[in-house]
Structure 1
């Protein structure tokens, strides 16, 4: 692959996108990143620089909005590859569930149609483990890329939007004969570079701020954002990735209590407000009717959430760092930036 190839990264100010842009630049690619607000260019450049990329002359920005078709036609011109990260997140979602799904699906189709028109060689889509494991109360084993979220179940709008968008992506790729790979990260940790960070990082901040006096009795898989970025690039570069989904996980399922205990062991007095007290499931379900932040996790109570990374390791040679290392890097970066 020609390292001078121009790569379009959508949602350029986001946590995963910034780390991906930094890795692309370090590998010698030209990068065009989309922003909804062009006034954030200097801020995003600073974050990319913080991630270790110094050749910012290889980076350009273009204004684009998910629901503005014309902006994507402009953004995709002359592009060889697209890494489509932009999507409504739990932190930015509209109030209405249908609006979140509409924004994710219509936005994706706008990007994909513009990419096809521009003759893009391959699209790498950032989906989510939420498109695999939601709505499966009785799933006995480890989730793999063969699994899909059960849209008939009572699931959160975020998981519904990621699932519907990825389904539309595969449908479009098949009908339009365009190369596609999807990356499905679990809870994303790793170095925070600025004020944009993942929903999972926000949980860490809430723990340190003492805003989680009780912990939910559940566990999730974790992954470092640097490894997620690396997996996107492996998927873009490897022929064996075409037509495949890849779960991005360390293969470690960690409970909130275990996570809290790690934080206390590693950060001592700084973690004095981190609670290790668990709350019964029935109380969480009741409180979720009044507390917006509990609605999504409440849908996973009593459910297995273990995910496999075997496919990414075997097919692409991906080697993620341990979950604990990713979590500690999250906290240390938040301390350094005085976020906590």
Structure 2
């Protein structure tokens, strides 16, 4: 598929905006789903700075809610493919898990159900490494996961709403693909960093902003497998363009970077800034995680390193992933350019 009209859910999100941009650059027409007209205008403004008016003329929007049936049939009219990006991210583990699990699972089911009734067969879905590398009993050491690994929710030591929601949503998607003969591809990013197109940024960028402006006084000792948002968007477009990707999962993860390394990268690039350097002992994180909050979202990674195979994802792109260091630096540069850091006190 080299052209056509693509429905992008969650077009106003961090990944959504980049995906819209890359689809337009590749010659596709895009219909983006947004919650309000103001968000549609924000996407237009972000994209306008990178493409010409001809590309912008191929971008339209429809206002709807991932949790309601209204207007989804209208959204699917004339669509050649769907890129389902929409996700609900939160800063800390919610007391009510359904705040995150509901949109992930019910939202995905709604998109697929209306795709089936509308006769849309081709779907590329943003999943996560959270559906791959958890519940395998790893509590210490290094492990590398590949596309044939699946998270075992029953094997997790601590519940994690994002992981549960993403895993259940992927399971639902593959069940639909089998039962309804859908041409599905799933993309599984690690921690998504990279340049923001505007001031409406993802919570994932806080992993850099808090260290860069010193607003996070300490950081955990563990790390995360990074991927640049530009690679994530490019993988979605490449999946649409390459028919052999149907029925396949693709990991999108570059380098594993511990938080202290993020601090060192930023301190070297911005020596004049008050870069966070202190780390929080693992035992304190484990204690705090029992009460929920932001520590609950990283507790399953404390004491172990989760690496992800990059071979299949890089083959899809036809090049190497952007390095983790470059993704961190690109994030920092955009946060500074957009004035999104907390002022020095």
Query: Which bracket does the TM-score occupy, shorter chain normalised?
Result: over 0.9
SS of residue matched to 1:8: strand
Measure how far apart 1:196 and its partner are. Answer: 2.5
Deviations 1:70-120 (A, max 9, x none): 322111111001000012213498641134222211111110111122222
Q: Is the 8 A contact 1:136 1:303 kept in 2?
A: no
The residue aligned with 2:256 is 253
| Aligned residue number for residue 284 of structure 1 | 285
Contact conserved, 2:93 with 2:296, CA < 8 A, in 1? Answer: no
- Determine whether 1:56 maps to 2:56: yes
Residues 1-340 of structure 1 aligned to structure 2 (within 5 Å) = 1-3=1-3, 5-52=4-51, 54=53, 55-91=55-91, 95-138=95-138, 141-152=143-154, 153=156, 154-250=158-254, 252-270=255-273, 272=274, 274-290=275-291, 292-315=293-316, 317-340=318-341
Residues in 1 aligned to 2:221 and 2:282: alpha-carbon distance in whole angstroms: 7
Report the more deviating stretch, 174-183 or 84-93: 84-93
What is the CA–CA distance in structure 1 between the aligned matches of 2:64 and 2:279, rounded to whole Å? 43
Distance in 2, matches of 1:38 and 1:197, equals 18
1:104-137, Cα deviation, whole Å (9 max, x unpaired): 1111111011112222231000001111112334
C-alpha RMSD over aligned residues: 1.8
Distance 2:200 2:251 in 1: 23
CA distance 1:337–1:236, change in 2 (3 Å): same
Aligned residue for 1:142, secondary structure, equals strand
Question: What is the alpha-carbon distance in structure 2 between the residues aligned to residue 156 and residue 197 of structure 1?
Answer: 22
1:322 is displaced (CA, Å) by 1.2
Residue aligned with 2:201, SS: coil
Q: Which segments of 5 or more consecutive residues in structure 1 lack a partner in the other structure?
A: none
In the TM superposition, what is the alpha-carbon distance from 1:38 to its structure 2 partner? 2.0
Q: Is the 8 A contact 1:24 1:31 kept in 2?
A: yes
Tell me the number of residue pairs that the alignment of Structure 1 and Structure 2 aligns: 336
Task: Identify unmatched segments of 5+ residues in structure 2.
Answer: none
1:316 Cα offset (Å)? 5.2
Task: Work out whether residues 67 and 103 of structure 1, in 8 Å CA contact, stay in contact via their aligned partners in 2.
Answer: yes
Name the CA distance, whole Å, in 1 between partners of 2:52 and 2:174: 32
User: Once the 2 structures are TM-superposed, how far is the Cα of residue 209 of structure 1 from its aligned partner?
Assistant: 3.0
Distance 1:169 1:291 in 2: 29
Post-superposition offset of 1:183 = 0.3
The answer to whether the 8 Å contact 1:284/1:294 transfers is yes
